[in-house]
Structures are given as C-alpha cells and as structure tokens.
Amino acid sequence: MSSTLLPKPQMRGLLGKRLRFHIVGALIVSLGSAVLYKYGVAEPRKRAYADFYKNYDSMKDFEAMREAGVFESVQPKDS
C-alpha cells in the first residue's frame, strides 16, 4: 500500500499526561488571577478606605443627616 506507515496512537498513560499538563496550567492561571485581583482590586480598595477614614468625622456626618431628616428617632435642631 503506502510506503509510510502512520505512527500508532499513544493509548497508555494518555489521561495522566494530559491531566498533569492541564493541572499545571490551571495552577498558573489561578495564581496569576489571584495576584492580579490582590494588586488590581484589593489593595486599591484598602487604600481608598484608609484615605476616606483618615479624615472622616462621624459626628459631622451625623449632624448633616440629622438636619436632612434621615433619622426618625432624632429630631432636627430647628424643630
């Protein structure tokens, strides 16, 4: 027939070989995603909260909400 024979397909150990390859790939992708999330989302969010609460005055905010009539149990000062 033909002068070149097709190579036989690998039948034994194929699943293990493919799993090893895909597990390593999945580990690399998941670690990369975790690092990107930490430095792209979590750290800027922590920095933003720290900056906000550095100068936050809760009593000033309470008084502003009190005057706006947000609370039912506390009357505004002008009433």
What CATH number does residue 65 fall under? Answer: 4.10.93.10
In a domain, 62, yes or no: yes
In a domain, 31, yes or no: no
The two tokens of residue 15 are 């699943």
Residue 3: per-residue pLDDT: 66
pTM for this model (two decimals): 0.64
- Domain of residue 57 covers 40-70
In a domain, 61, yes or no: yes
Q: How far apart are CA 25 and CA 32, in angstroms?
A: 11
Q: How far apart are CA 66 and CA 41, in angstroms?
A: 34
In a domain, 64, yes or no: yes
Residue 35: per-residue pLDDT: 98
In a domain, 22, yes or no: no
In a domain, 54, yes or no: yes
> Mean pLDDT in each 10-residue stretch from start to end of the chain (79 residues)?
76 90 97 98 98 96 92 81
DSSP string, 11-74: -SSHHHHHHHHHHHHHHHHHHHHHHHHIIIIIHHHHHHHHHHHHS--HHHHHHHHHHHT--SSS
Tally of domains in the chain: 1
Contact predicate 71/61, CB 8 Å: no
Residue 79: per-residue pLDDT: 54
In a domain, 29, yes or no: no
